[in-house]
Structure 1
């Protein structure tokens, strides 16, 4: 069996683009998360047990700083485009392989706790599933 190399990364210089605008300065978390199930059917005998995996559904979890005083802030964008479908691009390492997806917009919270930066978290539905950029091997 072959040993497979691993290349972990640190989330510190990312790209997060919504349509044509870049919002990486607004967000502290972008995470695409799948949910799937196993469905089981049982008959009246011990041997009659059947399990099936379902296709995953995806959400994009965002955490962002609230900004209600900038006209094109992410806070206002999500508030003003509720229910619409938007195309996003996320590069966990700026300039590296990315993820593209169509998200269904939901607005975030307004306000927060005293003496804290006002942030909001949203889980935006993904239409279909995220698309991963292909890995391009560097030329030798």
Structure 2
């Protein structure tokens, strides 16, 4: 059995491109999350138990700082383009592997608590599955 090496990394210098623009300066968290349905069948004998996994569906969770002052900010872009499907690229390590997905945009929340930086949290539905783009 082979011993597989591991190369962990810190998510400190990533790139996030939504449609044509890079927004990583405003984003504090990105996570592609699959949901895989599972189902089973149990017959009337101990040997007739079967478990299955279905096809995954994906979402992208984004968090970041709200910016309503900059005309081209991510907050303004998402509000103006809610419901549109665009390509999103995420490189966890700048210059490294890029994960690409077609996502359906939703607007961010507006406002927050006193004496704090207003942040947003959104979930985009992924059309199909993310792919890895060769750099």
Match of 2:62 in 1: 62
Match of 2:128 in 1: 128
**Following superposition, which runs of at least 4 residues in structure 1 exceed 2 angstroms of deviation?**
41-50
Match of 2:100 in 1: 100
1:106-132 Cα distance to aligned partner (Å, 9 max, x none): 111000011111001011011101112
Match of 1:19 in 2: 19
Match of 1:37 in 2: 37
1:10-31 Cα distance to aligned partner (Å, 9 max, x none): 1111111111111010100111
> What is the TM-score normalised by the length of structure 2?
0.93
Instruction: Write out aligned runs for 1:1-16 (5 A).
Output: 1-16=1-16
Matched, 1:119 2:110: no
- Equivalent-residue separation in structure 1 for 2:133 and 2:87 (angstroms): 15
**Residue 89 of structure 1, CA deviation:** 0.8
**Residue 96 of structure 1, CA deviation:** 0.8
Counting matched residue pairs gives: 135
- Equivalent-residue separation in structure 1 for 2:64 and 2:78 (angstroms): 11
- Equivalent-residue separation in structure 1 for 2:44 and 2:92 (angstroms): 50
SS at match of 2:103: strand
* Aligned-pair Cα RMSD in Å: 1.4
> What is the TM-score normalised by the length of structure 1?
0.90
- Equivalent-residue separation in structure 1 for 2:48 and 2:8 (angstroms): 43
- Equivalent-residue separation in structure 2 for 1:5 and 1:133 (angstroms): 23
Structure 2 gap ranges (5+):
none
Instruction: Write out aligned runs for 1:66-81 (5 A).
Output: 66-81=66-81
